Structure 1
Amino acid sequence: MNGLFQAGGPFGVLAAAWKAGKLGRCNAIFISTIITIIGAALQAGSSEVAPPDNRGLLGGLHGVSILIGYGLSTWIGYGLFFIKGTDTQWRVTHAIQIVPALILGCGILFIPESPRWLVENGRTQAANEVLHRIHKDAADPDNNFTQQEFQQIQSPLAFERTLPSSWKSIVTIPHYRKRAWIGMLTMFAGQFTGTLVINNSGPTLYASLGYGDGDTLLLSAGWITEGLFANMLNAFLLDRVGRKWLMTAGLAGCVAALVRECICLALFEGTSNKAGNSAAVFFLYLHLAIYGSCLDGSTYVFASEIWTPHLRAKGFTISVSGLFLGSLIIRVSAPDGFANIGWKFYLVMAIVTFINIFIFAFFSPETKGLPLEEIAVRFGDMVMDSSDVIDGEARSGASQNAGSVEEKA
């Protein structure tokens, strides 16, 4: 069942690219909540509006939100474990999905649409209103920041519309292709740290270390809850440390934790050595502390902000596909569907993560504190400065340059 869930992921993100590009970010989320509510009933019976200096914090809260959901689900599962001899165990866990979906579906009606998407679709007045709403600041009574942000969004549009933006262009144009590889690698590397395996096979792992049924669920719930606080730290660190080296340090830390976990499992799994088994549990918790505080939210923020506005819907879809690719590879290679995970499996993930450290350190740029439009410079894009625009129209020189942009790229 977990394998089927991950297998559906690529189809979901491909559909999300179309919905976000054609219908808008908010409408895409709203439609997805409706689908989730319908699915739950049957079972029972971003970043674009954030200012550069705070984009890491606001985007990093994505990871915090995910861990809140994970945490609630594990504690609900733990509580319902003790209600035996009834179908309440599975009916309640499925039906309760409706509650957060309803909250999201109703809440999204009050969230402003992406100003970039509004400008791209000719709704400049609505975009201006959104920017005034979200950037209103008593210390800036003349709304200078809002005007600057609006100009920075609107100015390059005439130029960007001349740029290639098809799926094919992402494959054929070198700096687009570089983004695709880096984005996919970022999400892929996160999966190969072993977090997915520990999350899905946690009870089995704890059971192999001598813990009973209730204790295995309790340890799994505690593990996820620790991840919530680690993600809060991740959101705090992103705008202070930066993306690239925070994630690189996280990968290195995960390797260290995985190697120590391998040693503990090789020596104590299946034995009655309480100290050794407790050490194995400690390194699982240490692994998540490192992953959650350095990688979890960072990967999503980085894999989104490396894409230029006219490619973000398609590009982020490609980035996230790396997550599902990594998940599927792990699931296919896992012995007996995670039922018999041993130390050798963790050692393989440690080796792959170690290789990813060097790839990431040498080929990924730093994006901390840069406006989204300026990040394009790091990838060799042709970028139009706002001074090259008069009343939203590109100067003739920029238009002439745009004609041969694909060839120059």
Structure 2
Amino acid sequence: MEDDKKDVEVLHREDVLARLPHGVDERPWYKQPELRKLYMLMPFLFLGSTTLGYDGSLLNGLQTMPAWQSFFRHPTGSHLGLLGAFPGFGGLAVLIFTPYVADYCGRRLGTTIGCSLVILGAAIQACPQRSDPDAMFLAGRFIMGMGSNISNATCPLLITEVSHPRHRCRVTTIYNTIWYLGAILAAWTTFGTLNHIVGDLSWRLPVGLQCAMPGIQLLSLWMIPESPRWLIATGKHSQAKKILTKYHGNGTETDFVNWEFSEISQTIEMEEAAAASSGWYELVRTPGNRKRCLLIILTAIFSQCSGNGLVSYYLASVLNTIGITNSSDQAAINGGLTIWCWLVSLGCAFLVDRVGRRVLFLTAGVGMLIAFSIWTACSAVYAKTGDSSAGSAVLAMIFLFYGAAGFAWPGLTVSYTVEILPFKIRAKGLTLCFVGTSLAGIFNQYVNPIGLEALAWKFYIVYIVVLVLECLAIYFLFVETRGPTLEEIAVLFDGPDAHVAGTTVPMERKRSVEASEKVA
């Protein structure tokens, strides 16, 4: 048993480069001209992750604005929950179609469709009439949720499938951390308009600015290459080979480029032959796929229902429970929290290939549980005594809680989901992830304000229970994926007989995988 554990540890410590064929360029990415160009374009794709981050922080900021509160008749409880949850309903409405958009239209065109809908929804959301403020506001949020889910179902696929194997997970993990960039922009925009603009423009302007980032992304998409894996799957082999040669071979058709093209082509062919015409059933047809689905559902739920939804959308309500009621103070805290969260999550994105995904998930879960437990206890003390030091402790725990969350959420939510899925079901599996996050998000956004209004700090106990279950699930169920290429990860779930081009999975790898299964 000890020898098996050592074999697994050696597998996880291996550098990807050591297992790739001869001909791979060993220079850092920034010293490779074409790969550098590819990664300089990545920030435009990262913007797809900003939409929901902007929306979450925007709703926090709007709740601090007297003009918005007056315009929407001081929403509380279920009314406020409905305003927060409506993007989730829009997202759910299109989720059944998103894998077909990704697989038939392509990753790039799918992102274009999503961005266009977000822009339309944001514009409608900014123009409600005072006679019936909810109608246009909710319609805009519904359309924005539709576009956001389409864009988020295609962007990470394109990022993962076009990235070099050596950088795949780090780049994809960075994608979802940009959620916080959207949150930062919304938080400080609402802070600025709250303090410097009077009247309805103070909230209409930040709502309308939600068009900006998808607009920039829409204009830049023509510069970004299509997924070579999608091109191969649709029979456009020569185009895929050109993209791999240009960006992964720096314009030279190296042995590495030929190996990568061959592995992708053969693996997709084998997946298609195995999947036949099973469609959505393929997600649960095999034991390996059923385990993937379980991990995807758990990841989706944990990313939304670990207590983070309380602050993501209803920080003002949380701060009210500890005596921080000044609008400007609440907006400033919201802005500072978003910056802190982004810095932590972005820093942890560079650790995924050093310490592994499972370690980061566990660190986040345990850290969040400790911080949230103290947060709950201090909230109880403040509620009973009104002690300002207890209120300050709650504020400190909120920052520590989100610091712990940054080790895994939201960065690994998408990247872990995408990398454990074979190409044939990657779009459908990512859709399953978004179904989970949308349902969990709707629950958070609708139920949280009701729970806070009815139970105040006692409502936090629900999330302590969830965090305990989360830590146990991560420890016993989650699979470490650090090391293998995107195609080879299938071996970790499906065993040595996985549908992967045989020459790319050496026998020592198979033995290590078998050892990993024994340890698990």
Specify the alignment match of 2:320 in structure 1: 207
Q: Does 1:195 align with 2:277?
A: no
Q: Equivalent residue of 2:195, what SS?
A: coil
Indicate how the Cα distance of structure 1 residues 52 and 350 shifts in structure 2: closer, same or farther if over 3 A, else same: farther
| Structure 2 gap segments, 5+ residues each | 1-82, 128-155, 505-520
Displacement after TM superposition at 1:142 (Å): 5.5
Matched to 1:100, the amino acid is M
Specify the alignment match of 1:330 in structure 2: 444
Render the CA deviation track for 1:195-232: whole Å, top value 9, x for unaligned. 11111111121122222111011111111111110121
How many residue pairs get aligned? The number is 387
Measured in 1, the distance between the counterparts of 2:246 and 2:183 equals 32
- Among 353, 371, 380, which residue is 1:266 paired with? 380
Q: Does 1:149 align with 2:264?
A: no
Matched to 2:239, the amino acid is A
Q: Does 1:73 align with 2:155?
A: no
- Contact conserved, 2:163 with 2:171, CA < 8 A, in 1? yes
- Contact conserved, 1:63 with 1:231, CA < 8 A, in 2? no
- Contact conserved, 1:307 with 1:376, CA < 8 A, in 2? yes
- Pick which of 281-290 and 334-343 moved more: 334-343
Q: Equivalent residue of 2:185, what SS?
A: helix
- Contact conserved, 1:187 with 1:303, CA < 8 A, in 2? no
- Among 204, 217, 231, which residue is 1:104 paired with? 217
Measured in 1, the distance between the counterparts of 2:353 and 2:169 equals 5
What aligned pairs does 1:229-378 form with structure 2 within 5 A after superposition?
229-269=343-383, 272-334=386-448, 336=450, 338-339=452-453, 342-378=456-492
Displacement after TM superposition at 1:39 (Å): 1.7
Q: Does 1:16 align with 2:98?
A: yes
- Pick which of 342-351 and 22-31 moved more: 342-351
Q: Equivalent residue of 1:8, what SS?
A: helix
Indicate how the Cα distance of structure 1 residues 233 and 356 shifts in structure 2: closer, same or farther if over 3 A, else same: same
Indicate how the Cα distance of structure 1 residues 315 and 128 shifts in structure 2: closer, same or farther if over 3 A, else same: same
Measured in 2, the distance between the counterparts of 1:144 and 1:226 equals 44
- Contact conserved, 1:52 with 1:369, CA < 8 A, in 2? no
- Pick which of 331-340 and 107-116 moved more: 331-340
Q: Does 1:59 align with 2:162?
A: no
Indicate how the Cα distance of structure 1 residues 116 and 218 shifts in structure 2: closer, same or farther if over 3 A, else same: same
- Contact conserved, 1:246 with 1:295, CA < 8 A, in 2? no
Q: Does 1:132 align with 2:264?
A: no
Measured in 2, the distance between the counterparts of 1:337 and 1:283 equals 20
Indicate how the Cα distance of structure 1 residues 299 and 277 shifts in structure 2: closer, same or farther if over 3 A, else same: same
Specify the alignment match of 1:44 in structure 2: 126
- Pick which of 316-325 and 169-178 moved more: 169-178
- Contact conserved, 1:53 with 1:369, CA < 8 A, in 2? no
- Pick which of 203-212 and 379-388 moved more: 379-388
- Contact conserved, 1:41 with 1:95, CA < 8 A, in 2? yes
Matched to 1:77, the amino acid is T
- Pick which of 377-386 and 233-242 moved more: 377-386
Q: Equivalent residue of 1:113, what SS?
A: coil
Displacement after TM superposition at 1:333 (Å): 4.0
Specify the alignment match of 1:33 in structure 2: 115
Indicate how the Cα distance of structure 1 residues 160 and 172 shifts in structure 2: closer, same or farther if over 3 A, else same: closer
Specify the alignment match of 2:131 in structure 1: none
- Contact conserved, 2:232 with 2:265, CA < 8 A, in 1? yes
- Per the normalisation by structure 2, the TM-score is 0.70
Specify the alignment match of 1:403 in structure 2: none
Percent of aligned pairs sharing the same letter: 27
Measured in 2, the distance between the counterparts of 1:286 and 1:385 equals 42
Q: Could you say what the CA RMSD is over the residues aligned between the two structures, in angstroms?
A: 2.1
Measured in 2, the distance between the counterparts of 1:387 and 1:198 equals 48
| Structure 1 gap segments, 5+ residues each | 390-409
Specify the alignment match of 1:185 in structure 2: 298
Indicate how the Cα distance of structure 1 residues 387 and 347 shifts in structure 2: closer, same or farther if over 3 A, else same: closer
Measured in 1, the distance between the counterparts of 2:500 and 2:400 equals 46
- Pick which of 76-85 and 184-193 moved more: 76-85
Indicate how the Cα distance of structure 1 residues 26 and 341 shifts in structure 2: closer, same or farther if over 3 A, else same: farther
Q: Does 1:5 align with 2:119?
A: no
Q: Equivalent residue of 2:274, what SS?
A: coil
Displacement after TM superposition at 1:387 (Å): 5.2
Measured in 1, the distance between the counterparts of 2:500 and 2:428 equals 24
Matched to 1:35, the amino acid is L
Displacement after TM superposition at 1:326 (Å): 2.1
Q: Does 1:95 align with 2:208?
A: yes
Displacement after TM superposition at 1:56 (Å): 2.2
Measured in 2, the distance between the counterparts of 1:108 and 1:384 equals 32
Matched to 1:159, the amino acid is M
Measured in 2, the distance between the counterparts of 1:221 and 1:191 equals 20
Render the CA deviation track for 1:291-320: whole Å, top value 9, x for unaligned. 013332012111111110011000111122
Render the CA deviation track for 1:150-182: whole Å, top value 9, x for unaligned. 111011233222122511232343322221111
- Per the normalisation by structure 1, the TM-score is 0.89
Indicate how the Cα distance of structure 1 residues 215 and 291 shifts in structure 2: closer, same or farther if over 3 A, else same: same
Q: Equivalent residue of 1:48, what SS?
A: helix
Measured in 2, the distance between the counterparts of 1:274 and 1:202 equals 18
Measured in 2, the distance between the counterparts of 1:143 and 1:271 equals 70
